[in-house]
């Protein structure tokens, strides 16, 4: 069957800017946001970028503008049409987003878009989440903005305060179209049909997965056992066709240990070959290819992820003659794999399709002084994204200060120069917490280990002859650590993957010198994705690696709490009771008894309090508990009858990093510190009472603090209470909000129990 693909970019020749019916409209670009085939097409245009990078080569990647604008304003971009912006990224201004941006289309005197960052990035229609938002300490907007003749982007200037803030960091991705192409400039939603389309696009992105129409596909399924040191080729798939979905499910239960289960992610190499070329266009460790670097991670992006025990790729993989999959097991244990594919036959194959390629790369401390290469390839094609894992040995996030650069077709100066590693991945300021979005995500973060990804569906980088991309190893390539990546790209014809995976010893996961100190952060990462099974598996792996860990009994108890989370209290109760009967560790016993006590009566609740400063928690005016240790949370059992209640948190000032975090677990609902709470400096009256009126109090600024914990306080004493750190935000009042550091702030929330 011929693949129906209407490219809005192949426009009728001779259609100039004066055409009466523009062919490329905002609606058509919005529809492209749901076209998951776009990454595989070589007939869709590439993008360019404008950024605030430091032209001197230093690390001051802010307040570098195209030119001055009207008084108090600067010009970020002046783009000649026709074309469209596909990504706007910004950080360095206030977290409340009061900094303004303006977009002038086609020489207009009054800008069509004149908004605060908060409005433009998620706060005002049509620019609503998930395509426009503020998260991980940056503002971004992925709604395409077409322009026919010209687009000028301005913002309020930075550095006008004594300390040089705001510092304006920005990136603008845009696509320049042929002069003959007809474009209708952005004018916002103009009809009920466009409003409906916006809702459809947002719903598609909230789902976050590439479309796979199984009714058009032929299912291919097989099971193989790949012996130690052996290879298995699957049956050749005859083209022309497109592989729409590739699923691989290892039998982890057949492997003898938790370490062996994680080890196969690197030991088994996936190879894909197209059209009997004799070249492996994909050569990648099994886990890395699907987004699980060094350990299994259950999350989903638009094109890859893991669910249960199944790895899945939804990158379109078209080919003309044939496709072949091969698995090499370079480890010492046989591995059983179930493989399933959805293959869509094509009536014919056109040059508009590209051949899918993926290349793995790894560098380490021995590469000090050199950048990490993501991709180096020859030929015609397009780069469509990467994932990158890092482990810094410097005990800092300085490794994230490296810029990315891309060179196209033999350039001597990069046409793409970024402003910092996390900026490229739609983050900022060393990120906040783990999250997964369709085209970007922070799949893992602990101290000082990280995994992030970005996919270029609407802003790919096209090349005709050659392409290379690399990340600095921190400023001046001076950071010690490991960097491991997957690059995803398409070429006009099959070619060998850019890099070889080498021997299995070269893929050994690096040892993390802070693993014992960061075990709780590891577990909260899993919990933020709802991956309680993964958290439990990681405890097994961790205890195999660290059998003498002094808090091992608490971690074993936490595994039982994960069973309660997954299978219910009836499954966990006998485990808790047996644990109490046999365990001697005082901390573990105290927590096990509290877990059982919680289920003795519907009025029983558990309160967690965690802070860097001297702080107290009060419920309904009653003082419950206090803390002041940034390395340990407090857990207390409380009795709460049905009806209205209030939870108030009192905290003194402390130096950054400072936070207060609370979580109340009840039988009907859970209350966690988040951005809906209210705050007030030294409030008057009975502020902890249920009846107190806090309507005049301030809202929480920003999006909450990193973690917690946050360096230098990277240790959190292990506990058995699932979700009570991962599902609560740390709250803080910035130093500028403290009129008197001898005073105190109160954070407050009302709630009701049925």
pLDDT at residue number 271? 98
Class of domain 214-507: mainly beta
195 and 18 Cβ atoms separated by less than 8 Å:
no
Residue 354 neighbours by CB under 8 Å, 6+ apart: 40, 41, 42, 318, 381, 382, 490, 491, 492
- Which two structure tokens, joined as six digits, stand for 138? 């940056």
- Which two structure tokens, joined as six digits, stand for 217? 């596909």
353 and 286 Cβ atoms separated by less than 8 Å:
no
- Which two structure tokens, joined as six digits, stand for 44? 């869709």
Q: Could you state, in order of their start, the residue ranges of all structural domains in the chain?
A: 26-207, 214-507, 601-754
Residue 146: CB atoms within 10 Å: 24
Closest to 183 measured CA to CA, from 345, 29, 4: 29
The residue behind tokens 């709470």 is 677
pLDDT at residue number 18? 52
Residues in the chain: 754
Q: What's the CA gap between 204 and 481, in Å, rounded?
A: 38
Q: What's the CA gap between 424 and 136, in Å, rounded?
A: 12
533 and 562 Cβ atoms separated by less than 8 Å:
yes
pLDDT at residue number 13? 33
> Radius of gyration over alpha carbons of the chain, in Å?
27
Q: State the Cα torsion 594-597-599-605 to the nearest 10°.
A: -70
pLDDT at residue number 159? 76
647 and 671 Cβ atoms separated by less than 8 Å:
yes
Residue 422 neighbours by CB under 8 Å, 6+ apart: 136, 400, 428, 429, 430, 431, 452
Class of domain 26-207: mainly beta
pLDDT at residue number 19? 61
Residue 383 neighbours by CB under 8 Å, 6+ apart: 375, 406, 456, 460, 461, 463, 467, 469, 487, 488, 489
Closest to 176 measured CA to CA, from 51, 87, 38, 80: 80
pLDDT at residue number 1? 33
What pTM did the predictor assign? 0.94
- Which two structure tokens, joined as six digits, stand for 34? 């749901």
For residue 186, how far is the Cα from the chain centroid? 29
14 and 180 Cβ atoms separated by less than 8 Å:
yes
pLDDT at residue number 12? 34
Q: Give yes or no on whether 26-207 and 214-507 have one common fold.
A: yes
Q: Would you call 37 exposed, middle or buried from its count of C-beta atoms within 10 A (0-12, 13-18, 19+)?
A: middle
- One DSSP character per residue, 561-597 reads HHHHHHH-HHHHHHHHHHHHHH---HHHHHHHHHHHH
pLDDT at residue number 598? 98
pLDDT at residue number 702? 84
Residue 15: CB atoms within 10 Å: 18
Closest to 24 measured CA to CA, from 185, 197, 196: 185
Helix and strand counts by DSSP (H, E) for the chain = 11, 43
The residue behind tokens 């990490």 is 372
pLDDT at residue number 6? 35
SS3 content of the chain, % helix, strand, coil (to 5): 20, 35, 45
Residue 741: CB atoms within 10 Å: 11
224 and 334 Cβ atoms separated by less than 8 Å:
no
Q: What's the CA gap between 441 and 455, in Å, rounded?
A: 9
- Residue-wise pLDDT for 439-496, tens only, equals 999 999 999 999 999 999 999 999 999 999 999 999 999 999 999 999 999 999 999 9
Residue 191 neighbours by CB under 8 Å, 6+ apart: none
- Residue-wise pLDDT for 553-567, tens only, equals 999 999 999 999 999
* Domain 601-754 of CATH type 2.60.120: yes
Low-confidence ranges of the chain (pLDDT < 50): 1-17
For residue 469, how far is the Cα from the chain centroid? 20
């Amino acid at each position: 069957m011929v693949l129906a693909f209407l490219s809005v970019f192949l426009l009728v020749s001779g259609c100039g800017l004066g055409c009466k019916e523009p062919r490329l409209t905002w609606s058509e670009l919005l529809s492209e946001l749901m076209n998951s085939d776009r990454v595989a097409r070589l007939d869709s245009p590439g993008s360019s970028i404008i950024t605030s990078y430091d032209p001197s080569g230093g690390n001051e990647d802010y307040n570098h503008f195209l030119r001055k604008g009207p008084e108090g304003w600067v010009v970020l971009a002046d783009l000649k049409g026709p074309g469209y912006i596909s990504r706007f990224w910004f950080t360095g201004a206030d977290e409340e987003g009061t900094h303004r941006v303006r977009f002038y289309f086609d020489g207009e005197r009054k800008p069509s878009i004149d908004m605060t960052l908060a409005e433009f990035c998620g706060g005002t229609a049509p620019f609503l989440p998930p395509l426009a938002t503020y998260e991980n300490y940056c503002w971004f907007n992925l709604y395409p903005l077409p322009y026919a003749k010209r687009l000028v982007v301005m913002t309020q200037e930075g550095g006008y305060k004594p300390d040089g803030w705001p510092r304006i960091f920005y990136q603008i991705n845009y696509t320049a179209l042929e002069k003959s192409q007809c474009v209708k400039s952005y004018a916002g939603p103009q009809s009920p049909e466009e409003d409906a389309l916006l809702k459809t696009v947002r719903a598609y992105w909230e789902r976050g997965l590439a479309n796979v129409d199984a009714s058009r596909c032929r299912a291919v399924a097989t099971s193989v056992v790949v012996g130690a040191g052996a290879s298995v080729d699957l049956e050749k798939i005859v083209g022309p066709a497109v592989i729409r979905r590739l699923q691989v499910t290892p039998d982890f239960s057949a492997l003898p240990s938790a370490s062996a289960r994680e080890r196969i992610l690197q030991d088994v190499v996936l190879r894909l070959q197209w059209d009997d070329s004799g070249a492996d266009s994909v050569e990648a460790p099994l886990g890395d290819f699907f987004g699980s670097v060094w350990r299994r991670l259950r999350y989903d992006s638009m094109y890859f992820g893991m669910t249960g025990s199944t790895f899945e790729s939804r990158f379109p993989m078209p080919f003309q003659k044939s496709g072949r999959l091969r698995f090499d097991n370079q480890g010492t244990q046989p591995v059983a794999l179930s493989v399933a594919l959805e293959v869509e036959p094509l009536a014919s194959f056109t040059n508009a399709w590209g051949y899918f390629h993926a290349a793995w790369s790894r560098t380490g401390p021995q590469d000090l002084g050199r950048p990490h290469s993501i991709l180096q390839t020859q030929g015609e094609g397009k780069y469509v994204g990467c994932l990158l894992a890092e482990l810094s040995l410097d005990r800092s996030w300085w490794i994230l200060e490296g810029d990315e650069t891309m060179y196209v077709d033999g350039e001597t100066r990069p046409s793409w120069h970024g402003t910092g590693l996390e900026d490229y991945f739609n983050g900022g300021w060393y990120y906040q917490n783990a999250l997964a979005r369709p085209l970007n995500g922070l799949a893992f973060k602990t101290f000082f280990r990280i995994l992030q990804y970005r996919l270029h569906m609407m802003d790919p980088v096209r090349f005709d002859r050659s392409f290379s991309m690399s990340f600095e190893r921190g400023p001046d390539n001076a950071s010690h650590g490991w960097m491991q990546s997957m690059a995803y790209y398409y070429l006009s014809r099959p070619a060998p993957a850019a890099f070889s995976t080498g021997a299995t010893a070269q893929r050994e996961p690096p040892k993390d010198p802070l693993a014992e100190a960061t075990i709780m952060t590891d577990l909260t990462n899993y919990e933020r994705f709802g991956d309680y099974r993964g958290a439990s598996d990681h405890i097994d792996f961790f205890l195999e690696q660290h059998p003498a860990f002094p808090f091992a009994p608490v971690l074993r108890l936490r595994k039982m709490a994960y069973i309660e989370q997954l299978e219910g209290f009836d499954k966990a109760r006998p485990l808790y009771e047996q644990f109490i009967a046999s365990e001697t560790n005082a901390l573990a016993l105290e927590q096990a008894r509290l877990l059982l006590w919680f289920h003795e009566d519907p009025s029983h609740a558990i309160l967690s309090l965690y802070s860097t400063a001297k702080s107290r928690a009060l419920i309904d005016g009653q003082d419950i508990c206090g803390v002041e240790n940034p390395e340990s949370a407090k857990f207390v059992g409380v009795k709460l009858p049905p009806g209205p209640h209030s939870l108030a948190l009192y905290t003194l000032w402390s130096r950054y990093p400072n936070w207060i975090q609370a979580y109340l677990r009840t039988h009907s609902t859970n209350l966690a510190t988040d951005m809906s709470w209210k705050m007030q400096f030294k409030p008057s009256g009975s502020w902890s009472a249920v009846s107190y009126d806090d309507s005049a109090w301030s809202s929480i600024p920003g999006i909450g603090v990193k973690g917690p914990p946050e360096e230098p306080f990277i240790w959190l004493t292990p506990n058995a209470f699932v979700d009570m750190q991962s599902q609560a935000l740390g709250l803080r009042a910035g130093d500028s909000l403290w009129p008197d550091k001898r005073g105190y702030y109160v954070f407050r929330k009302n709630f009701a129990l049925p």
